[in-house]
Structure 1
Amino acid sequence: MRQLTLPIAPGPAPRFENFRIGANAAALPALQALLHRPRPSTPLMLWGPAGSGKSHLLHAVEAALAETGHRAGRLDAGGPLPAGWDERWALLILDGAEALDPLRQHVAFTLFVEASTRGLPVLSAARLPPVDLPLREDLRSRLGWGLVFQLQPLADAEVREVLRDEAARRGLKLQDEAIDWLLLRQARDLGTLMDLLDRVDAYALEHQRAVTIPLLRAMLGGWTETPD
């Protein structure tokens, strides 16, 4: 008999406190400086592959800023366009800069100029370094002239620790052999792995089974056998 799947508890919201630093400690003091007055006016850019923590840190800055009673303007590659400059903004965030379409590039440039005029910082993130961004030159050069930090994905041991901790938070017991099996067959960026853990959680609950390799095979491979 299968059990009805219950809603999965959301993971903790991105904060500086729950960011797995790994090899990325150098960027944190510069990011935290954005929260205090006088705020630096120099642009700051984070770049690195998927799963290296770029979006986590952008959201952490945004959340910490909100706790001080301030707001950040935001333009994402796949998100809605802002109506215009908001006087309540204390900084501007541009996420997914490598994927901005021509319209969003125009809006990003206009907002960047406005932020610079007001002496406010621009915090951006991309998967590519500034020199390789497929953007109009006036925007690309502005994004890259300030502080630029390359973010590195977590090492294997750190990824394993994250998986164990998140599984424990959900009440799942994730054995080393199950982690080994997953990491051999799945992308190792944390975003993909956390989404996968959501699926594992729901599947194990539905089948009322422990998380074993046969269960993972059944879930990921579409096997018809009953998971152990």
Structure 2
Amino acid sequence: MSLYQLHNPAIFLGLDDYAVVCVDNVDAIIGLVKWEDALSAFMQRHYARGHQLILSATNLPNHMRLKNSNVKVNLGWGLMVQLKTLVNTSSVDALIFRADAMGLEISPQVGRFLMIQHQEELDSLWYLLERLDRASLSAKRRLTIPFLKQLLKST
């Protein structure tokens, strides 16, 4: 459920007291005049106090159908970073990096195998890594593709 379905625009009142505020999924309120007006007023108060604001949205401000032109101006005040979805090789690298941080050694082949077998979000793969780490320690075996097949078959 989106923010605007759970609350009214007054939710922004008082947030400017905080040094850092994060608002996710700003797209959900785009086109809703009362929400855009409340967001614009909040942003102006927040910036006037020298506080930091982190917003996330699916689209860049110039691709949003904003009713309040001040919101577009306000959204342009700061640094904009467009995040890209990890491609498969980057996902495998992220998986290997996470495993290494856990003290778990996996080869690129094992990483690719896991990505193919479990085409899920990375957070689900992190959970799977924890389970595999426990199984590997319990069996006193390295994570190899045959061992993974055996483990994944039994679950």
Residue 211 of structure 1 and its aligned partner are, at CA, apart by 1.8
Superposed, which structure 2 residues align to 1:142-157 within 5 Å?
142=73, 144-146=75-77, 147-154=79-86, 156-157=88-89
Q: 1:137 aligns with which of 67, 72, 78?
A: 67
TM-score by length of 1: 0.44
Q: Which stretch shifts more, 117-126 or 167-176?
A: 117-126
CA displacement 1:89-121 (0-9 Å, x = unmatched): 33432233335697xx47644532321443544
Give 1 or 2 for the bigger CA radius of gyration. Answer: 2
2:98 maps to what in 1? 166
Q: Which has the higher contact order (CA 8 A, sep 6+)?
A: 1
Q: State the identity %.
A: 22
How many aligned residue pairs are there? 145
RMSD: 4.2
Q: Deviations over 1:105-150 (max 9, x none)?
A: 476445323214435443212233334558x633862564334321
Q: Which amino acid aligns with 2:54?
A: L
Question: What letter is aligned with 1:137?
Answer: K
Gaps of 5+ in 1: 1-75
Aligned to 1:199: 131
TM-score by length of 2: 0.59
Residues 1:175 and 2:112 are matched in the alignment: no
65, 86, 90: which one aligns with 2:19? 90
Alpha-carbon spacing, 1:128–1:193, altered in 2? closer, same or farther (3 Å): farther
SS of the equivalent of 2:105 reads coil
Change (3 A) 1:116 1:197: same
Q: Which whole-Å CA distance do the structure 2 matches of 1:100 and 1:211 have between them? A: 46
- Distance (Å, rounded) in 2 between the aligned partners of 1:132 and 1:202: 46
Q: Distance in 1 between matches of 2:121 and 2:59?
A: 16
Which structure has more strand as a fraction of its residues? 1
Per-residue CA deviations over 1:55-82 (Å, capped at 9, x if unaligned) read xxxxxxxxxxxxxxxxxxxxx96xx967
Q: Which residue of 2 aligns with 1:126?
A: 57
Pairing 1:212–2:141 present: no
Counterpart amino acid of 2:14? G
* Aligned-residue offset at 1:204: 3.3
**Structure 1 residues 212 and 96: CA distance shift in structure 2, 3 A:** farther
Q: Secondary structure at the match of 1:149?
A: coil
Q: Relative to total residues, which structure has the larger helix share, 1 or 2? A: 2
Q: Which amino acid aligns with 1:126?
A: A
